[in-house]
Every structure is written in C-alpha cells, then in structure tokens.
Amino acid sequence: MLSALRKRVLSLPRTWKRVILVGFDFAALAFVLWAAFSLRYDRWELPNSIDEWAIVFSAPLVAVPVFVRMGLYRAVVRYLPERAIWTIVQAMALAAILWVLLAFLTAMTGRGFVPRSVPIVYWAFGTLGITGSRLAAKWLFWPSSRKALLQRPVVVIYGAGEAGSQLASSLRNSHFIAGFLDDDQTLHRREVVGIKVFAPSHLPSLVRDFGVKQVILSIPSLSLTRRKEIVHEVSHHGVKVESLPAITDLVTGKYLVSQIREIEIDELLGRSSIPPDPDLIREMIVGRIIMVTGAGGSIGSELCRKIAQWRPQKLVLFEANEFALYNIEMELAAAKDVSAVPVLGSVTNAQRVIGAIKEHGVQVVFHAAAHKHVPLVEANALEGIYNNVFGTKIVADAAFEHGVKDFVLISTDKAVRPTNVMGATKRWAELIVREKAAQAVEQQSKQRFCAVRFGNVLGSNGSVVPLFKKQIAMGGPLTLTDRAMTRYFMSIQEAAELIVQAGALSGGGDVFLLDMGEPILISELAENMVRLAGLTVRSEDNPKGDIEIVAVGKRPGEKMFEELFYDSSSAVPTRHLKILRGVGQLAQPVKLGPRLDELRIALSIEDEKAARALLFSLIADREAGEMSH
C-alpha cells in the first residue's frame, strides 16, 4: 500500500506537489498555534467560537505568503539541501513576528489578549513541524533510490529555445533540471517542456534552493561577446559553466544536442572571429609539399592539423621528440587522405635537415622548432642559443640552397626589446631569415623568407593555462608572477590559421605581426579559470573561497608586459584584418656572418657569459637601426 501511495505521489505534477505542501503547512501551523494556546492554558478543547477559529487560522494565513516569498515551495523536497533548514528557521521567525504584530493590532480593537509564551511555543513547534515534514517526506518517498537520486547532477539550462528544450529532454533521465534561464522576458515564469523559465537574475536563488552546481549554455548561435558576458555573470555564483557545441557543429552532425562540453578559456578572450581567406590558404598549401619543423609541439602540431585540412601533396613532419612525433603522425593517419611523412631529427643536425628537404622535394617550410620556455632557456642559455639561433640558421640555409619557395619562421613578441635569452635568440632568428630574404632578392631566386611574430597561445606547452589547470585540480594555490603583469593571448587554432595566411602574403623579408587584441592581466586569466571550474577565488573579500591566487615574484628574464612592435607606427595593414606587416625590413643590409662565427666560438668553449654578451650586443645595434626607420 505504501509503495502504491509513493508511486502515485511521485507521479504528480510539480504544481500539485506544491499544493499538497501548502495545504499541509496551513493545517500544521493552525494545529501548532492551537496547541500553543492549549499548553499555555492547560485546556485541550477545540475552538468553540468564530473568533477563536479566526485566531487559529490567522497563523497560516500570515505564514504561507512568507514561505512563498522566501522560496520554501521552490525547493524540490527530493533535493532539499540541509542548509535549507536555516531558511525554514528564518521563515518561521518572520512569520511568528508578523503574527504577533497582527495579534497586537487586533488586541487593540478589543479582540483579546495573547500570552507572551504562545508566540515562542508557536515558533519552536512550527519550525520543528515544517522542517520535520520536509525531511520525513524526503526519507519516506525516496528510501531505496535515495543515494542515487542525491548523486544526480542538479543543473540549470541557460536558453529556453529549441536547443534548450531538446537538451532538457535528453538530460531528464540523468540530471535534475532546476529550471531554464533566458534573457527573453516574455518567457519568464512560463514553462517549457514542463520546466519553469526564470530571469538570469534568479540564478542565486536556484543555487540556494536546489544546490545547483552546473549551468549549461544552450544557445549555439550565441555571439562571443554575449557568451563572455554570460559566463562572467554566471561563474561568480560558484557554479561550473558548460556549453552546447557551436551551431555549425550541430548542423554538420559533428555533435549531438545532448553532447555538452566545457567552456574553454580561449572563448572568454572576447576576440572577434575573422573567417580565413581561402585564396591565401590555397596559394600556400593546396598541392604543395610542406615541411613543419617542431611538428609535434603545440604550435607545430596545430599547424599540421590546419595544413592537412587543405590537401597538401605531402606533409613532412620534422620533430626531435619521438613521442611527440608518434602522436601527431597517428592523429593525421586517422584522416587517411593526408600523406604525412614522419622524420625524426633535430634542426641542429644539418645533414638530417638537408636530407629531408632533398628527399621529399620540400616547397614550403614552416619553422616552428624552438626552445620557448623562458625560465628553462634562461637557465640553459647555451643550449637555447644553439637550438634557436643555429638551428634556424641550418634550416634557413638548407631551404635557400635547395630551392624551397616559401619559408615561414614562427617568432614571438618576446623578440621585441628582449630581456631574456629566449627572446634574444628569436630576434636573432628573425635577422637570419631577413638575411636569407635579402640574398634571395639579390640572386633573384623568387624565394620568399618571412617571420610571423605573435604573443602567447592559450594551452601551448609551457604556458600558464596548463599550469593553472593542474594547480586548480590540486586545490591551489594558483601562482603568478605579479598581479599587474599582462600578456597578449590568442587561441592556438587562430594562431596556426593566421600563420599560414601570413606566409602567402610575404613579399620576402617581412616580419608579420598578428593582431593580438588587448593585453590581458594574468591575474584576470587565473580568476576566470577558477570560476570556469565551478569554484570561487579566495581573497580578503571572500575568505571562504575555494582557490587562492598567490603572486610569487618575477622569474629571471621576465617582463611585466610584452610588445609586438619596435615602433607601432611602422606596422601597416594587409589584405587580412588580423595580419599587419612591419615595413623597412630590407632598408639596411644584414651581415650576420662574423657575429655568428663569434657566437659559435663562445658556444664551443662553453663561455656562457661571452655568448650572452654577443647575443644582446647585436640586438642593441639592430634596435637602434629599427628605431631609425
């Protein structure tokens, strides 16, 4: 019999369940007030006049609206968090105070006197009765499956449109959906697929009443700007924000509506999306034999993925790390229609580089191989110089001597007025490429050598994003250099796409500068990552937060901010809105031979001090030249 009753109650619509709760509360509070009077007068008999019945029913008539206002009927009993008991205590206290006020006013009209002990007994017994009824219902109607039910994620869906309703239908069996949030005011307080729609400002009460831990954005066509605003607003409430895939992925069938994904930090950069120029990519890639050095690295592997999508004749994967080479080869092999050739070797091995270019008839080289981690290169300066400077020299020489038509160096914003060895070696690499471009012009070989300079890419090896993710997973703290430090950031996918297009724009000797937008505070990036994980930042204003962010001080060679230009006025736009070209590159002849010889000697005798001095002295001379143009 109990099982049948349980099944029947659970099958009722949520509205009827609320009606039952309201009815129970009304009867229970009326009984509690009668019991309070009976205890005070030690007389247990039913009211025998209209005035006495009016006094008994006045309590629930005051209390029920208070309960409605404080959300006691919004919280689902099954998911009632224990902290909701405090809300019940507060609601009963307010209801008792309002009832006392009502009783005082009615006493002034000559309707009787209320003993002082009655409100206290009424509040105490009322609190016990209302709290006990919720907990009893929770344990009575969900006895066997209680643990499983409590483990079901409680979510809110942001967006009550077609995608949101489909998502709700697909998640019903595995999640409890506390409600929809939507910006459309015409939908507020209505129901979509049986679930109530609320204004976004209602999220805090949903979190409080239902214990919501996850908000899913179900607006696939949402603009990046609006997505950033929503994530910023929602994540402040200590919930994890996830999203449906983009509308293009849903239309093409790459994802189903039920497949939600985590929001990546690069989606919060607020960068406007510019579609790639197919003519530029086609000119650079289609039908050509291309070699990517550092093909297993973060930038190199993403370049390989982009290149593979545009049908090259052959893609040569040149990589010194065996495991990284294996990974990218296996990934591209799954595409089947890509002819990818793995070549294991270092860019400092001239014979291996020349052999790869000659054997495969390489026409285009993207030189991404480099040591890029600033503190590690600073601590291992000689190896950094050997790999980044002489490795670039070897690859550029081999490309020039063996007829490679296009050579693109992947450079960095740290090459501008460098304060560390890594940045200085990349500046030397730019100058080496410029020297090759000048030789190509002199010999009229029609070969194009250029460099592409940009800032940090989110998620690349050695960047702060993987570090912050690891620190968050370990419970913090997140460590950063200085709260005022800024960096330029772009997604690794956008960077790779722009590099390919910049190569097609080259006239020889160019240094292209990718539009990185506005610099971002590292501290802001850290805070956003904590919130995306559904956690809160611990600070003076929020001492009970989950993750602390700690400034540990600058590391050797680090700048507080980075620059993309020696002189921003010297950069001119190209046909692509996010690619700028530095001017005046070939105005001065570049003769690096004697300086390279001196640097090679310093490396051979492992004189790090001399090598550093040579490294930065050339750059100081070149900076003066740059600024004069």
What confidence tens digit (pLDDT) does each residue in 35-54 have?
Answer: 777 777 777 777 776 766 77
When the candidates are 3.40.50.720, 3.30.60.50, 1.10.260.40, 3.30.420.40, the CATH number that belongs to 152-263 is: 3.40.50.720
For the beta carbon of residue 279, count every other beta carbon within 10 angstroms.
Answer: 11
Q: CB-based contacts of 615: which residues, under 8 Å, 6+ apart?
A: 385, 389, 421, 424, 425, 428, 599
- CA distance from start to end of the chain: 92
Strand order in the sheet with 261-262: 191-192, 195-198, 176-181, 154-158, 214-217, 240-243, 261-262
pLDDT tens column, 263-281: 555 555 555 556 778 888 8
pLDDT at 163: 79
Q: How far is residue 370's CA from residue 116's CA, in Å, rounded to a whole number?
A: 82
pLDDT tens column, 159-201: 888 878 887 877 777 777 888 888 888 888 777 777 788 888 8
For residue 461, pLDDT over 90 is answered with no
Token duo for residue 408: 């693109």
Amino acid at 224: L
Rg (CA), the chain: 34
Place of tokens 């690891």: 470
Q: CB-based contacts of 311: which residues, under 8 Å, 6+ apart?
A: 285, 286, 287, 337
Q: How far is residue 399's CA from residue 417's CA, in Å, rounded to a whole number?
A: 28
Average pLDDT score, the chain: 78
Angle at 365 between CA 505 and CA 622, to 5 degrees: 70
How does DSSP assign 186-242, residue by residue? Answer: GGTT-EETTEEEE-GGGHHHHHHHH---EEEE--TT--HHHHHHHHHHHHTTS-EEE
Question: In this predicted structure, which of 61-75, 153-167, 423-437 has the lowest mean pLDDT?
Answer: 61-75
Token duo for residue 259: 């497949």
Token duo for residue 432: 């080496």
User: Which CATH homologous superfamily contains domain 278-628?
Assistant: NAD(P)-binding Rossmann-like Domain (3.40.50.720)
pLDDT at 14: 62
**Mean pLDDT along residues 366-380:** 90
DSSP character at residue 490? E
For residue 522, pLDDT over 90 is answered with no
Pairing type for strands 520-521 and 486-487 reads antiparallel
Please confirm, yes or no, whether 414 is among the known catalytic residues: yes
Identify which of 438, 388, 413 has the alpha carbon closest to the alpha carbon of residue 588: 438
Q: How far is residue 209's CA from residue 231's CA, in Å, rounded to a whole number?
A: 21
Task: Return the half-sphere exposure (C-beta side, CA atoms, 13 A cut-off) of residue 443.
Answer: 13
Angle at 542 between CA 538 and CA 545, to 5 degrees: 40
Longest distance between any two alpha carbons in the chain, whole Å: 116
- CATH code 3.40.50.720 region(s) in the chain: 152-263, 278-628
**Residue of 372, 414, 426, 578 marked catalytic:** 414
Token duo for residue 407: 């050579």
- Using DSSP's 3-state secondary structure scheme, residue 178 falls into strand
Sign of torsion over alpha carbons 56, 59, 61, 64: negative
Does pTM surpass 0.85?
no
Q: How far is residue 97's CA from residue 87's CA, in Å, rounded to a whole number?
A: 15
